[in-house]
Amino acid sequence: MVGTGGPVDKFSVWDYVVFAGLVVGAAGIGLVQAFRGRKDSSSDEFLLGGRQMTAVPVAMSLTASFMSGVTVIGTPAEAYVYGTPFWLFAFSYAIMSTISAEIFVPLFYRLGITSTYEYLEMRFNKLTRMIGTSMYIFQTALYTGVVIYAPALALNQITGLDLWGVLVATGVVCIIYCTLGGLKAVIWTDVFQMVIMLSGFVAVIARGAVLQGGLGKIWEDNYKTGRLNTFDFDPDPLRRHTFWTIVVGGSLMWVSIYSINQSQVQRYVSCRTMTHAKMSLYVNMVGLWITVSLAVFSGLTMYSVYKNCDPLTNKDVASSDQLLPYLVMDMLAKYPGVPGLFVAAAYSGTLSTVSSSINALVAVTVEDFVKPLWPSMTEKQVSWINMGMSVFFGAVCIAMAAVASLMGSVLQTALSIFGMISGPLLGLFLLGMFFRCANSTGGVAGLIISLCLTLWVGIGAQLYPPHSAKTRPLPLTVDGCLSNMNITTTVATWSSAVTPLPPNNERPALADSWYSLSYLYFCPLGTLVTLISGLIISAISGGCKQEKIRPELLIRKEDFICFSCCRKDENSAPDLIQKVGPDQHYGLDNPYFTDLELKPTEKDRDFITKL
């Protein structure tokens, strides 16, 4: 009987058929793109899709890249235990999309860069670029290990799929279409995988609504236990999720992911025009809203089904990350092929993220390390290096899955990694973009100081997780479990954040203060420390007196939408056309293609005037 605990069915033959078919279909899309683009084997085609992508597929790829198997597995478990505060990330997505589209896109787009970290060398020096690239490679490899390992572990324990078989298969499939198809294969495969992920959520919600007597009943069950108390305005920075931690801390964290992360920037600079690049971020925002809403409601559906018999307390599952796979096998096993669809959804999310990471790692390695060492390489040699690097980083990501096995729940671990490393990097980019007085000495010193601080608090939080008084899990019961009818109602005291708490006498003095800082504040902390320390050290070391700053490397007031909308139409187009030259690209078309910019037609003038 569904919702009463105990063992659940394993995969049927039809589930394996559906699962294998969808995975083969994803790989097939990558291979098709490889054959379609076989005539153009240039590095630019491989890494940036020829810079001719359009907004909608790029937007879906942006969404799929970080709405991975971590989201499919982790977000419903988050809603099951903590309720709907995670829904507040919808505000964070809107803020992130606006900042990324209106500030970062104009800068990166007009520079025509391939690696995000090229900007750091342009603005500061080569050492700063090397440090930034190295931090990105470490962060992405570790994050990808989490993405591979955690869903594979959950699916292994629930469906019986072999753990290391799933891990190796993930790496091999991604390596195949990344190596042969490049960015186009990654983007179009992401589009397919995004559809599969959303279909998995819809199947869970629809079946749950039928079992529980409608969506209204699901809503009512969650309302009674306080899971719909979304808005908590407590300013305490030690509280895990409040309105302020999610909207303020979460917004900056997502800005660090979408604005400077190579996996994301590489997508929108591949668009054929700046309009497409900006539009891809706004369409992506809608995609993020839909995804997080379906994921959270899947968690609410799961609570409604298990409101009288919590599988975690009843020890039917070993961790919160196995809750959704357990639910799927519990209530959908009678429909052959449907559990296979859900597993494919989680697996598709993993594939999309891993393939994106591999492609981005190849891009920064080739652009930031290989080309500067061997500048005379031919395009054919670069293409072979690109493919070889794809195989290498695929193997590295699989190896990092072993490190990920030592960490906590997939959702918080993944976001914590970005906070600890992307926060300081975001501060470095902002330092260069907004402050002319910042120099390379201040930038590097501020980055190192900030990174040491965020790693200190982040690692401390992993070793000494906060008490439930700060995480506040909601009550769960096993009263209705058939196998445990004699157990009384209990309140869950575990946290999906990390492993069980050590005894109080083993906790250091900082455990309940500094180490209990909300993981969503890791990024703001890193960003602010980089900015403040970078400015102070820059001032002490002489500012930018010894460094000539190119004006196009700084944010201009024209980059902000409020100023660009106020310009007079009759003056803006002619001025813009007169200023555009070989060394200045203002986004009429992709900077890689300068013909239209140097010789605009009447149609181009009309387009600029409308902008």
Query: What's the average model confidence in pLDDT over 171-183?
Result: 62
Residue 584: strand pairing partners: 581
Residue type at 84?
T
Domain holding 199, by residue range, is 13-423
Instruction: Note the pLDDT tens digit of each residue in 514-527.
Output: 889 999 999 999 99
Query: 306 in a domain, yes or no?
Result: yes
Query: 534 in a domain, yes or no?
Result: no
Q: Which helix (H) or strand (E) holds 80?
A: helix 69-82
Query: 508 in a domain, yes or no?
Result: no
Instruction: Note the pLDDT tens digit of each residue in 43-63.
Output: 444 444 445 566 677 777 777
Structural domain count of the chain: 2
Percent of the chain with pLDDT over 70: 73
C-alpha separations of 495 from 82, 272, 315 in Å: 9, 46, 15
Residue of 510, 303, 321 lying closest to 405 (CA atoms): 321
- Highest mean pLDDT (candidates 142-156, 326-340, 392-406, 521-535): 521-535
Structure-model confidence comparison of residues 582 and 310, the more confident one = 310
Residue 43 has what pLDDT?
45
Q: How far apart are CA 462 and CA 515, in angstroms?
A: 8
Residue 529 has what pLDDT?
96
Q: How far apart are CA 441 and CA 213, in angstroms?
A: 64
Query: 463 in a domain, yes or no?
Result: no
Instruction: Note the pLDDT tens digit of each residue in 446-467.
Output: 999 999 999 999 988 888 888 8
Q: How confident is the model at residue 588 (pLDDT cuts 50, 70, 90)?
A: very low
Residue 244 has what pLDDT?
95
Residue of 517, 546, 337 lying closest to 440 (CA atoms): 546
Prediction pTM value: 0.80
Q: Are 27 and 173 in contact (CB under 8 A)?
A: yes
272 three-state secondary structure: coil
Query: 207 in a domain, yes or no?
Result: yes
Q: Position of tokens 């955690």? A: 150
Query: 572 in a domain, yes or no?
Result: yes
Among residues 423, 442, 463, the one where a domain terminates is 423
Q: Are 182 and 386 in contact (CB under 8 A)?
A: yes
Half-sphere exposure of residue 55, counting CA atoms within 13 Å on the CB side?
16
CATH number of the structural domain spanning residue 271: 1.20.1730.10
Q: Position of tokens 């190579």? A: 262
Query: 429 in a domain, yes or no?
Result: no
Q: Are 411 and 72 in contact (CB under 8 A)?
A: no
Query: What's the average model confidence in pLDDT over 173-191?
Result: 63
Query: What's the average model confidence in pLDDT over 555-560?
Result: 71
Sign for the CA dihedral angle at 443, 447, 448, 449 comes to positive
φ/ψ of 490, rounded to 5, equals -125, 160
φ/ψ of 584, rounded to 5, equals -135, 120
Query: 456 in a domain, yes or no?
Result: no
Sign for the CA dihedral angle at 292, 295, 300, 303 comes to negative
